[in-house]
Structure 1
């Protein structure tokens, strides 16, 4: 009994640490969105994993850093004439974004080692924690790979690399959150199987994730600025020139009209899917945890729709656009909670009593 109590206490400690890490990753995603929206991502033209912790501390150091930035196309083609104060403004967004990334590494690695040395990590969790650590390291490399795509003659980062960078950050966040659910709410038992609704919930999680990637393409191509009208795009539902490129399929990834159109259509489709799924889950699995998840899912979807429309109509203000990006991650969190609750509900549901 004492050992069981101690194990539960250790599970709570590990879950609290992972939840803190997930919260900081969520903040990292928001800050990354602000960095992109303020066009600050290319202000740091060097990648120094260790020395980059310290920002310029003197006017001379700031001027030297600014001079390095001036040698790259973004200054010459977009920000020519920017003064040192203006450079400091965009530099600090990118600097804080990278600093927070390093903080996440420290916040994750050292407690992980401590919990492992103290034998407080549940059986089977250690490989998952090491996988998260490796994914975090890969995320740092992917971030620099993304920045490098904009340090060329065309000073804009690749939308493909941006989507990959955003997608991996969301995977790390979602995996952390799922492990927290396992530790605090219990894992589904193996061999019991999951019902159709539980399996469908994982499909819903996948759809929300694809929607986030679609939003990353919108962000990477600045497609959100193309049509600041809703529900029409300009004067029509199907804008002129839609999929007029050669080859047409490439427009889905590189043409701003097609990218914004696809994002809207995906949103409409997701609204229908979530409405049907939530109705079925509410009726078929009337447990408090599942119903709480359904309510959170509905609220997150409604908020995300309102934020998306407002962001369009107001021509992508930084605050609303960042909130829209954060709202997408919260919608994914709600979908994960429902999926976990349904899978556990199916797994631990009591067997029917014999008459």
Structure 2
């Protein structure tokens, strides 16, 4: 069918859908950068340098010596200064301040990058309040706003007696970031035109179900990595594949109470993350092998191939990060790899769905 046979209204709707999909994908890219910045603040211990949360004025940087002195004075009244950095000077404080400052300002920019186009689409009547799409966009906006609140809730846990953020709040912050990325990508992919679906695509091996469970496993593995970061477990047992000379190290669940060991005991936390990662990469390879001889649309096959390749890259990054005792650059790349793998799994799920009617509403 040539493009001239498609009604003008349908072409206009698809053009609008493509614009909105591009907008959502751009915001997802900004969230991706935000995750990188957040990881770097954790790795460089910069996250507790800003001890106040100013929703409307927090984007204003220090302009003069008096501003810097005031910020540093406030920092010296919190546990991180007394217990970790008692010898820190003003110049040293500046070194940890800027990364957290950029992290927070980027979050505000994301809010504008989402809200302003959303408002424009409403004004131009590309989206109406009665449309399902409006409520999806509103839900995405609320999710983004809640992440700012969650971020401050996490930081608050490090401004008390223990000068380190709670690993539980850290993982919750990361989990919400993954949820936001997944929601943005899913709505964006739903707006884009799907490739033709033919009768050969019967999915006899239940590849769609495989992709869904792999997506869930990747999310679980990524969150277990958050507990590794939150407990600094990556700085222990820096050998692979053995831990302390054993495949299954002693002391697993040697924590009271035992049910908290997967979240607080360094040995258990690292063992769980290793095991989940190894299981994930093996199952992704099986998934890729099962897809090789299937009749799949070119874009679907491309998604699966990239998914399989990224799994190998990610396990390589994880092992390298461990063996080299968590260098900042590699650790950041490993976190980036987790988000990329998570996103590729979601793409595979979307591509392997059975065909449906167009549910878009303009």
Pairwise TM-score range, normalised by the shorter structure: over 0.9
Q: Paired residue for 2:60? A: 54
2:78 corresponds to which of 72, 81, 86: 72
For structure 2, the residue ranges without an aligned partner over 5 or more in a row are 1-6, 358-362
Cα contact 2:143–2:180 (8 A) shared by 1: yes
1:16 corresponds to which of 1, 19, 22: 22
2:345 corresponds to which of 327, 335, 354: 335
Quote the Cα distance in structure 1 between the aligned partners of 2:356 and 2:298.
15
1:348 shift after superposition: 6.0
Q: Map residues 13-162 of structure 1 onto 2, 5 A cutoff.
A: 13-121=19-127, 123-162=131-170
What's the CA shift string for 1:2-61, capped at 9, x where partnerless?
211111110111011111101010000001000000001111110101111101111111
Quote the Cα distance in structure 2 between the aligned partners of 1:187 and 1:288.
8
Quote the Cα distance in structure 1 between the aligned partners of 2:92 and 2:256.
40
Q: Paired residue for 1:177? A: 185
Quote the Cα distance in structure 1 between the aligned partners of 2:67 and 2:356.
61
What's the CA shift string for 1:265-311, capped at 9, x where partnerless?
00111112212222223333433122111110011101101110110
Quote the Cα distance in structure 2 between the aligned partners of 1:176 and 1:188.
23
Quote the Cα distance in structure 2 between the aligned partners of 1:89 and 1:117.
44
Quote the Cα distance in structure 1 between the aligned partners of 2:139 and 2:258.
38
Taking structure 2 as the reference length, what is the TM-score of the superposition? 0.91
1:325 corresponds to which of 330, 335, 358: 335
CA RMSD of aligned residues (A): 2.0
1:331 shift after superposition: 0.4
Structure 1 188/222 Cα, relative in aligned 2: closer, same or farther at 3 Å?
farther
Quote the Cα distance in structure 2 between the aligned partners of 1:264 and 1:64.
44
Q: Paired residue for 1:283? A: 293
Quote the Cα distance in structure 1 between the aligned partners of 2:29 and 2:343.
11
For structure 1, the residue ranges without an aligned partner over 5 or more in a row are 350-355
1:187 shift after superposition: 10
Quote the Cα distance in structure 2 between the aligned partners of 1:225 and 1:121.
50
Structure 1 253/187 Cα, relative in aligned 2: closer, same or farther at 3 Å?
farther
Taking structure 1 as the reference length, what is the TM-score of the superposition? 0.93
